[in-house]
Structure 1
Amino acid sequence: MTEKNCSMVINDLQKSDSGSYQLRVEGKGEAFTYLAKAKLSLADLNQKPSVMIPPLTEGQQASLTCTAPGLCSGSPPKITWMWRGEGENDSYIIGNITALKTENLTAFTKRHVSTLIFNSSADHHNTSITCKVNFTGGIITEETVTLNVNYVRKPQISGRATVKEGDVLNLTCSVDSFPPSVISWSKSTKQAEHQSHNLIKVHGRHEICYQDTSRILLFSITNVTAEDAGLYICTAQHLNYTLREEINVTVKYVRKPQIFGRTTVMEGDDLNLTCSVDSVPPSVIKWTKSGAKAHCQENIFSKVDNSTVIYLLEKSGHVSFSIMNVTVEEAGRYICTATYQNDSMTEEIHVKVNFNHVKHCACGGGALLWVVAGVSLSVHLFSMIYLYHSRNTRKKAEPTEDDQTYMCMQKTNASAGYNVIVQQPH
């Protein structure tokens, strides 16, 4: 009374506390009731707790706070945290819940706060967490919020990595993340030791489609060619992180065999032929030679003997062979057969071997030259004898010394044969 303060505080209000209140002052043998009345009407609690959630990142520690509604000066409430996954019942979240903290604001007002500390993960993303406050008298209020956790998973590429030329290439890159990542496709090109990434442009045979709120990026190429083979890269840009995933695309194709080499060679030279087949995967290449009878084919590599040496050189897509010291028997039709998958293709070349006259003359040696010399000598002798006989027949008389003609044969050398020299005396 001396302080002139007759305030009254009712803690933990119940519905039974509803009604009218009057101030009554009692003194020494005296009492006085004021006529003014304060009517108190209680309603159901409609205030909810205030839940504060900071930005959540997977793998990092997070602190969530729940503040009880009102500035209650009565008994401290009980605050609990509940977590609910998709299609699950309420359960206690694994974490450290600090003791209830009460802040005294004034002599009659207090704030009650609970803090939950836990390690957030992608499992918590898009789930619900509830802060429940129990007051004295069975009064309960709660607040439920949805958790958003920043996370990202490695890009996943699906689609056939091996296609045939002319088919359609479909590659899909999916990235599970929050917030959604920015996805892009690129193709790797190597120039010397430098690797650059060229973004695939949407034009012609190329098409890019977005699906499922940018979490999936579909890339498609129609009428695939051999040039479309290579390393394709899916890049996901998520906040400050960049993640990549690669797929090596193989395009199956085959080209017609090509034969390289001279088709006309001289006897005694070397025959070099190469068959090249551009295909993925590599083809099985075989050389054969067509025989004269019924065009029968035989593997030329079975004809190695002492006089003919065949060299075989195999590389990826190339088969070369050489025949040393070619003979006229090596002329003919050579066939390159490429077996790709279950199909076969052939290409042929006709080889002509020219007769080497010099080589055969050299083989005859001195015997041939002696024959030529003998024939030359016989012709010369016959001519001289015929001339001598004719002259004697015309004169029909004994020849004089002036008319006498005699012959002598002089052998100059074996290679030149004989020279016939006609001499007349002076």
Structure 2
Amino acid sequence: MFALFWTTVLFSLSGSNTYTVASALGRPFCSNGFCITLNEGQITAEAGLCVVLPCSFTTADEFTPKNIVWFKCESWKRKCGDSDIIFRTNPNKIQPEFLGRVLLLDPDVSQRNCSIMINDLTTSDSGSYRLRVNGLQNGRTDGFMFTSKTIVSVKALNQKPKVMIPPLTEGQQATLTCTAPGSCSGSPPNITWMWERKYEIDEINIPGNITASLKTENLSAVTQRHSSTLTFNPSAKHHKMNLTCLVSVSDNIATEETVTSNVTLFSKILKGSGCVLHTEVLSCVCISEGSPLPSITWPLLKYHTEYSIFNTVSNHTVNSTLTVTNPGNISVECISSNKNWAVKENLAVYQHLLEEVNHVKQSGSGYKVLPWVVAGVSLSVNVFCMIYIWHLWNTQKKVKPTEDDKTYMSLQKPDTSSEYDVIVQRPH
């Protein structure tokens, strides 16, 4: 019974301690009919987690065990006193720093199982631990202090949480899981999810509906697993973002693990795609986004042989530039596709700006000019005139007439214009 119970406990704790089942119990050490079996060698554990001190004992036939007492005392001491008590069946005179942190794995002392678990470890828990068994011998109260010791060494927390991230697809709800290291029954850790730049998810507007919840699962009577789940709807803004799970086991002990979210994005054609026709050359650009990276095709090309294509890639965006000579029919379609999705769009074709202006001059009011073309031309003319007049005004200010320098200004009105030109003449 004891062997089966102990094997189960050790397997459940194998992720939080460095010792193994094979080395958990050593050889029994006997004295005056009392025998104790402890761990051989040093037990190594990590701060913030827990440690199990495996232990079993037997007593003389005339001795009936009633309760056990564990001490943490200096290795050089021959005897441990009341001030060194860390656990006893009757919770009296226990060191305050161990109160509530030590658990007897089997409360039935008659089973001779003296194994304990110490939760919420700190580096100050390193040291030597000894056992005393109290009971009745021949009807009288008595006890036996074992001289064998268990040595515990508590190191800094090294283990990291385990983050499970499923395949992420744009627009499809996903749940991520972060499991805290260890399987202790002590204080539950605080688990926090953070996006890159260390922002907590509840302190920044991250795109998508996000919820986080903490879960505690009982693995056995003395072990637990603590985890947190994060549920959200992935989008393009989540793609390639760093996501950190921070596990705080105390005010000054924490560990974290960072993963990069890889979101499958449906291919889409972005704003800014379009074509410009200049004389007999058609130039088009198609901008597409997706993950995996989409490929762009131009159905127009099956009717032409004189063309060139230039593609550039930035993150999960593809920019495809097409140039076609003598395009003829200028209906242009762009198709973007990846393994998840395909989308096509008919691109608007605009004539080159200068050609639009010339066409306006030739056709007069009977030609319907695009509003943005008229606005652009008007703005360009006004800006040019303002710059030209400003330049002339500055030039005029710099010319200072003197008696020797017979500079004069005259105003002339050209026959073909209603505007005046300012002319500055200087005699040679």
> TM-score, normalized by length of structure 1?
0.50
Relative to total residues, which structure has the larger helix share, 1 or 2?
2
Higher relative contact order (CA 8 A, sep 6+): 2
> TM-score, normalized by length of structure 2?
0.50
Relative to total residues, which structure has the larger strand share, 1 or 2?
1
